[in-house]
Amino acid sequence: MVHLALIGAAVLIAIVPVAMLMRTSSHGRPIVYGISLIVSLALLAIALLTLLGSSEAASVAVLPLGLPWLGAHFRLDALAAFFLAVVNLGCAAASLFALGYGRHEHDPQRVLPFYPAFLAGMTLVVLAADAFSFLVAWEFMSLSSWALVMAHHRVSDNARAGYIYLVMASFGTLALLLTFGLLAGPGGGYTFADMRAVPPSAGLAAAVLILALIGTGSKAGLVPLHVWLPLAHPAAPSHVSALMSGVMTKVAVYGFVRIVFDLAGEPAWWWSMVVLALGGITAVMGVLYALMQHDLKRLLAYHTVENIGIIFIGFGLALAFKAHGMPLAAALALTAGLLHVFNHSVFKSLLFFGAGAVLNATGERDMEHLGGLIHRMPQTAFVFLVGCAAISALPPLNGFVSEWLTFQAILLSPALPSWGLKFLVPAVGALLALSAALAAACFVKAFGVTFLGRPRTPAAAGAQETDALSLAAMMVLAALCLIAGILPGLFIDSLAPVVQALVGARMPVQHGVEWLSIVPVAESRSSYNGLLVFVFMVISGWLAALAIHRLASDRLRRAPPWDCGYPDPSPITQYSASSFAQPIRRVFGTMVFRARERVEMPPPGDSAPARLTVELRDLIWDVLYAPIASGVGAAATRLNALQFLTIRQFLSLVFSALVFLLLVLAIWP
């Protein structure tokens, strides 16, 4: 199986030169995206066959590439197969979307060659089974996505976004390099099998956890390492934004799971506290940042940060249960986290596609310039609404199921003996509930301001519905949101081999439960049936409509809006994105963002307009990054003098450095 998957990746890499040759031809787009679509679907089929197939043994391949004494090891086990499926589902959807969407690209030569390379990089990270191939694939993925972020490099913000992304990606890879160095140990066992065979000592494992959190967390967008994400993800073309937010962050999550659950040995009790605290803070901070945005794509990127937090809460709970020898509860928490990985990749891709369709139709990402699009783009509006409801964790869609499972895992945690966790877990539960409620508020804003109301600009008023292929990609994902919401048992059961391999237990089989309910622990404890809830809602809504239309009235009259008798025809009198968020900004923003509102009223008699200015400060940037940046800048200025020495000074510098090093060597015991 793994050989087939590698052939798929090779085909993707092989289209790169084809794409370069055909960069200006009009056939380049259908060929590149068409082949990417076919290969992604094939890889998805391979992953699903491995995940659902009965064969327990992982399939292994060693290629004579890379370091001469090591070779390139690849392995397809249950965990890799699950993430391969998530990655390639997202890639297939993005390729289908791009078949239509890519038509509007001004510079296809800047996108087409890097796109298949990006897909191949993500697939290879998941397949890699030694440190060297993992890191090479990881860098391949980072750099090709960086090139895609820089596709529209003449937009001034994009260059800055690309620069910050490059710095953070290099920093993350450095942390991962050190992680694998520690795991390999002095013997240099760089294959994952060697690392698994010799787990690190407790002190080293602690360093591995921290470095893995930095390395994978900076790619996934854990607060406070998230700063590049909301800049870089929106800068790329929309199908690439969807891939970066929906899929590449999942590859980073894969890296975390692989290192922490698989390679680093038995977890210590305090690991879970670090992961839980980071997850809870990330979830709430992500959604609060998102609420303050009025750029649609940036809002979605911040929601990726939030959802990564929710995923890490699940993983933190799983680590806690695993460390205290409660494998069943660990299986529940890990399943919740992994299910949210899948769910998030589906609805986040869908939402970015929708944002891309809006961007194409209007040329606007700023919600303050949109509005009323539901009339001009009804089908896009419908699928975007499904995505909004799913990400807001509303039943009967899929986002609710994984958050519900996380809540169930939290309710099992009083049995944990550690006192620190007894304090932390309820607080994290409150943070999770808060982030879910705020996410719903944020998506009321995102959908309401973009699609509802009256158009705020002529561009929004003249929008056209997007093309059929893009719509098809969004419809498929919207359908998946519903299916995963009403039949979650299927997805939970297919995760069982992954969870079994990582924590040594699995959730109860959901397949035979009556009425297709899901029962995480025992039926007396909790159960949920999305299908019945969905059917009940459809029936009762339909009954109400039928009864009213038959028995009462079905007449309808159109009239101007009422608005308490004072309707104003100007669309700027509507609530905007920032006015919608104003109450929440006052409640949470004054503390978190030091939000200040300043009103400038002209003196009486002056006809100048009054102005309301809102100041927000990003404290994480100010406290953490600005000092580092200014420190590096100051050091560079200081060291700049070294560039202007005479040749004698340079020679004496080299000589004294040599003498110094020899002295150190001589004194070293």
Give the footprint of other proteins on residues 149-188 (CB under 8 A): none
CB 179 within 8 A of CB 286: no
Q: Which amino acid is at 41?
A: L
Least distance in angstroms from the C-beta of 554 to other proteins: 8
CB of 91 or CB of 285, closer to other proteins: 285
Q: Which residues pair with 73 in a beta bridge?
A: 62
> CB under 8 A: which stretch of 233-241, 332-340, 377-385, 470-478 binds other proteins?
377-385
Least distance in angstroms from the C-beta of 370 to other proteins: 12
417: contact with other proteins by CB under 8 A: no
CB of 91 or CB of 381, closer to other proteins: 381
CB of 57 or CB of 572, closer to other proteins: 572
563: contact with other proteins by CB under 8 A: yes
Contact letters (x/-) for other proteins, 59-78, by CB under 8 A? Answer: --------------------
448: contact with other proteins by CB under 8 A: yes
Range 66-97 burial, b when 16+ CB lie within 10 A, else e: beeebbbbbbbbbbbbbbbbbbbbbbbbbbbb
Bridge pairing between strands 611-615 and 596-600: antiparallel
Q: Which amino acid is at 362?
A: T
Tokens 């709430």 belong to 284
Is the preceding omega at residue 224 within 30 degrees of 0, hence cis? yes
Least distance in angstroms from the C-beta of 488 to other proteins: 12
Of residues 568-587, which lie at the interface with other proteins (CB under 8 A)?
568, 571, 573-575, 579-584, 586-587
CB of 171 or CB of 407, closer to other proteins: 407
7: contact with other proteins by CB under 8 A: no
529: contact with other proteins by CB under 8 A: yes
Q: Which of 123, 44, 57, 120 is nearest to 89 (CA)?
A: 44
> CB under 8 A: which stretch of 28-36, 199-207, 270-278, 399-407 binds other proteins?
399-407
Of residues 532-551, which lie at the interface with other proteins (CB under 8 A)?
532-533, 536-538, 540-541, 544-545, 548, 551
Return the residue of 410, 480, 495, 499 that touches other proteins, per CB under 8 A: 410
Least distance in angstroms from the C-beta of 50 to other proteins: 33
**CA pair distance 622, 503, nearest whole angstrom:** 40
Return the residue of 71, 185, 327, 395 that touches other proteins, per CB under 8 A: 395
Q: Cα dist. 307→313, 403, 560 in Å?
A: 10, 10, 41
Decide: residue 462, CB within 10 A, 0-12 exposed, 13-18 middle, 19+ buried.
exposed
> CB under 8 A: which stretch of 11-19, 122-130, 444-452, 458-466 binds other proteins?
444-452
Return the residue of 155, 427, 601, 626 that touches other proteins, per CB under 8 A: 427
553: contact with other proteins by CB under 8 A: yes
Q: Which of 392, 453, 440, 441 is nearest to 576 (CA)?
A: 453
> CB under 8 A: which stretch of 165-173, 323-331, 384-392, 646-654 binds other proteins?
384-392
Is the preceding omega at residue 186 within 30 degrees of 0, hence cis? no
Query: How is residue 316 written in tokens?
Result: 């933190």
Least distance in angstroms from the C-beta of 330 to other proteins: 18
CB 82 within 8 A of CB 338: yes
CB 168 within 8 A of CB 225: yes
281: contact with other proteins by CB under 8 A: no
Of residues 335-374, which lie at the interface with other proteins (CB under 8 A)?
371-372, 374
Least distance in angstroms from the C-beta of 350 to other proteins: 17
Return the residue of 109, 170, 379, 527 that touches other proteins, per CB under 8 A: 527
Q: Which of 384, 495, 394 is nearest to 450 (CA)?
A: 384
411: contact with other proteins by CB under 8 A: yes
CB of 50 or CB of 293, closer to other proteins: 293
Least distance in angstroms from the C-beta of 513 to other proteins: 10
Range 630-647 burial, b when 16+ CB lie within 10 A, else e: eeeeeeeeeeeeeeeeee
Return the residue of 186, 187, 458, 559 that touches other proteins, per CB under 8 A: 559
523: contact with other proteins by CB under 8 A: yes
Close Cβ partners of 469 (under 8 Å, ≥ 6 residues apart): 96, 97, 99, 100, 101
556: contact with other proteins by CB under 8 A: yes
Instruction: Give SS3 for 293.
Output: coil
What angle separates helix 271-291 from helix 419-451, to the nearest 10 degrees?
20
422: contact with other proteins by CB under 8 A: yes
Contact letters (x/-) for other proteins, 93-122, by CB under 8 A? Answer: ------------------------------
Return the residue of 454, 472, 614, 618 that touches other proteins, per CB under 8 A: 454
Decide: residue 650, CB within 10 A, 0-12 exposed, 13-18 middle, 19+ buried.
exposed
596: contact with other proteins by CB under 8 A: no
For the chain, how long is the longest CA-to-CA vector? 101
Size of the site for other proteins (CB under 8 A): 90
Least distance in angstroms from the C-beta of 439 to other proteins: 9
Q: Cα dist. 308→162, 222, 298, 311, 391 in Å?
A: 22, 7, 16, 5, 12
**CA pair distance 473, 453, nearest whole angstrom:** 26
Least distance in angstroms from the C-beta of 422 to other proteins: 5
Query: How is residue 616 written in tokens?
Result: 């927000």
Decide: residue 174, CB within 10 A, 0-12 exposed, 13-18 middle, 19+ buried.
middle
CB of 559 or CB of 667, closer to other proteins: 559
400: contact with other proteins by CB under 8 A: yes
Instruction: Give SS3 for 611.
Output: strand
526: contact with other proteins by CB under 8 A: yes
664: contact with other proteins by CB under 8 A: no
560: contact with other proteins by CB under 8 A: yes
**CA pair distance 242, 33, nearest whole angstrom:** 15
Least distance in angstroms from the C-beta of 287 to other proteins: 9
> CB under 8 A: which stretch of 102-110, 150-158, 473-481, 554-562 binds other proteins?
554-562
611: contact with other proteins by CB under 8 A: no
Helices (H), ranges, 102-186: 108-111, 114-127, 131-149, 156-184
